[in-house]
């Protein structure tokens, strides 16, 4: 093991002790730590991006456009292969040395002041330290959970954006779209604009439920409310004709809208000309989002869809691009999700399902996914002699880090290999259900090559 690997392992062990996956509403703990660090989160002008789906894509696109003219930091979660992917400087993951130094400083602060903050809160602290150290002109933050009490909401954004509002984390954010929207709209700021992403085709009813709530919160808080207009049907058709590999037209409108408002909010200090914006977006690299790739030379489609709305959207895109075609699907999710509810959205495009139980982030048991699929009438396909009812169920988070070989206690590697055997150029195997699972697949089965 190299010296750099040793430093990475030590700091990862310290970070993982904070409990990835532990949700802790409230911002006072982190606010105190940031104050002890000199309030680095306020030292760099910022943008705050919230919503249910598509936040990371917008953050990545904004970062790609902004870094054509300015030193740009971006906080995007979660990561796929390396934790360093969560913090980007000018569209590059932070270096091992920079990450280790910032993470060590963050952990020292946490321990010195005895603040019981979570893994995610530590990530925000690390990002604030990194962006100041790198001399960033602008930082783009992806909100974690909800909005009002999220750790990222300690930033003081010049412009805020909500991509959309869907059903996710209802046990924390509320049972209705209105309740969820009220929480997410808490990222608005008095006297500053909050943009609301355009309605996607087929989401008219949901948009009509949550948009008025976002507008009312902005009015109550004294923030400007700017709903973005819908792309044309022609824009969507052109996007689908590309195989849905490019930037969705609603994402383009959100990026252009945020940059326009940033120009005004910064008094003309942060301006990205249209030509530069387009140049930045052509270099956009956002992994595992409708990504046509190869694993070990076999065609696959990787998508991080993991909730009802995003899986419905994925199924709809596949159905429109390939009418009547069905696909082999490798699927895994977290134990907190209802696999039956998720698979019901994918059913119209599933030919055969290969369930996956990867020992990261509280995975849903293989048997539970298999049972849900069979209840829906979906054919389940597993490697020969694999007993779906005899898997271990206790996976301590952080016991295995990115520096360790993949943990195959559940024989998930064999399941992936089986899923790849079902792939064909006409119907590539689709991997979806959890970004954490996709990250482990990429770690174990070579880096995909974009087609």
DSSP character string of 72-137: EEEE--S-SS-GGGGEEETTEEPPHHHHHHHHHHHHHHHHHHT----HHHHHHHHHHHHHHHTT-S
Residue-level pLDDT, tens digit, the chain, 451 residues: 566 677 888 899 889 888 776 667 779 999 999 999 999 999 999 999 999 999 999 999 999 999 999 999 999 998 999 999 999 999 999 999 999 999 999 999 999 999 889 999 999 999 999 999 999 999 999 999 899 999 999 999 999 999 999 988 888 888 999 999 999 999 999 999 999 999 999 899 999 999 999 999 999 999 999 999 999 999 998 888 877 777 899 999 999 999 999 999 999 999 999 999 998 888 888 889 899 999 999 999 999 999 999 999 999 999 998 999 999 999 999 998 999 999 999 999 999 999 999 988 889 999 999 999 999 999 999 998 887 766 656 676 666 778 888 999 899 999 999 999 999 999 999 999 999 999 999 999 975 443 3
Domain ranges within the chain, ordered by starting residue: 3-282, 291-444
Q: Of 70, 22, 73, which is closest to residue 361 (Cα–Cα)?
A: 22
DSSP class of 139: E
DSSP class of 326: -
72 vs 59: CA distance, rounded Å: 11
CB contact at 8 A, 360 and 436:
yes
Q: Give pLDDT, residue 449.
A: 42
Rounded to the nearest 5 degrees, what angle is found at the Cα of 87, between the Cα atoms of 83 and 91? 115
CB contact at 8 A, 184 and 55:
no
Taking the alpha carbons of 79, 83, 85, 88 in that order, is the dihedral positive or negative?
positive
41 vs 318: CA distance, rounded Å: 40
In degrees and rounded to multiples of 5, residue 335 shows phi and psi of -65, -20
Pair of tokens at residue 305: 């869809």
297 vs 295: CA distance, rounded Å: 5
81 vs 440: CA distance, rounded Å: 7
Rounded to the nearest 5 degrees, what angle is found at the Cα of 164, between the Cα atoms of 159 and 168? 120
Sheet holding 429-432, edge to edge: 291-295, 298-302, 429-432, 327-331, 350-355
- 3-282 maps to which CATH number? 3.40.1190.10
CATH number belonging to the domain at 291-444, selected among 3.40.1390.30, 2.102.10.10, 3.90.190.20, 3.40.640.10: 3.90.190.20
412 vs 436: CA distance, rounded Å: 13
Q: Give pLDDT, residue 448.
A: 47
**From the centroid of its chain, how far is CA 9?**
24
Instruction: Give the contacts of 423 (CB within 8 A, at least 6 positions apart).
Output: 298, 299, 300, 328, 429
Q: Cis ω on the peptide bond leading into residue 362 (within 30° of 0)?
A: no
Q: What is the dihedral of CA 284, 122, 124, 396, to 10 degrees?
A: 40
* SS3 state of residue 198: coil
How far is residue 78 from each of residues 49, 187, 215, measured CA to CA in Å? 15, 20, 29
CB contact at 8 A, 363 and 349:
no
Pair of tokens at residue 436: 């954490």
* SS3 state of residue 142: strand
């Amino acid at each position: 093991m190299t010296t750099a690997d040793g430093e990475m392992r030590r700091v990862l062990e310290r970070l993982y002790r904070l409990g990835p996956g532990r949700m802790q509403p409230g911002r006072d703990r982190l606010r105190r730590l940031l104050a002890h660090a000199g309030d680095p989160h306020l030292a760099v002008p910022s943008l705050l991006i919230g919503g249910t789906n598509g936040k990371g894509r917008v953050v990545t696109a904004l970062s790609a456009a902004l870094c054509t003219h300015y030193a740009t930091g971006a906080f995007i979660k979660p990561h796929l292969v390396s934790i360093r992917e969560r913090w980007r400087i000018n569209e590059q993951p932070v270096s091992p040395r920079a990450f280790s130094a910032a993470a060590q400083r963050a952990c020292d602060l946490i321990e010195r002041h005895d603040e019981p903050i979570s893994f995610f809160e530590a990530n925000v602290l690390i990002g604030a330290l990194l962006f100041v150290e790198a001399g960033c002109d602008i930082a783009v933050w992806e909100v974690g959970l909800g909005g009002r009490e999220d750790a990222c909401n300690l930033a003081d954004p010049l412009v805020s954006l909500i991509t959309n509002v869907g059903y996710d984390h209802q046990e924390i954010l509320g049972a209705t779209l209105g309740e969820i929207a009220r929480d997410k709209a808490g990222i608005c700021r008095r006297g500053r604009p909050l943009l609301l992403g355009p309605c996607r085709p087929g989401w008219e009813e949901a948009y009509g439920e949550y948009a008025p709530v976002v507008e009312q919160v902005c009015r109550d808080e004294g923030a400007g409310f700017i709903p973005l207009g819908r792309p044309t049907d022609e824009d969507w058709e052109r996007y689908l004709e590309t195989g849905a590999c490019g930037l969705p037209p609603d994402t383009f409108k959100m990026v252009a809208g945020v940059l326009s408002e940033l120009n005004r909010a910064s008094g003309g200090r942060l301006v990205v000309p249209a030509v530069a914006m387009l140049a930045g977006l052509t270099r956009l690299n956002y992994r595992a989002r409708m990504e046509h790739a190869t694993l070990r030379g076999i065609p696959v489609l990787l998508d991080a869809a993991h909730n009802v709305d995003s899986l419905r959207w994925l199924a709809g895109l596949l159905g429109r691009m390939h009418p009547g075609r069905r696909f082999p699907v490798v699927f895994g999710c977290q134990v907190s999700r209802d696999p039956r509810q998720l698979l019901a959205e994918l059913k119209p495009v599933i030919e055969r399902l290969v369930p996956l139980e990867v020992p990261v982030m509280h995975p849903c048991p293989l048997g539970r996914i298999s049972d849900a699929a069979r209840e829906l009438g979906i054919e389940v396909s597993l490697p020969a002699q694999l007993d779906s009812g005899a898997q271990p169920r206790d996976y301590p988070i952080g016991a295995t880090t990115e520096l360790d070989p993949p943990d195959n206690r559940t024989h998930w590697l064999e399941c992936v290999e089986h899923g790849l055997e079902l792939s064909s150029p006409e119907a590539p195997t689709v991997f979806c259900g959890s970004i954490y699972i996709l990250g482990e697949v990429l770690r174990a089965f070579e880096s995909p090559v974009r087609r």
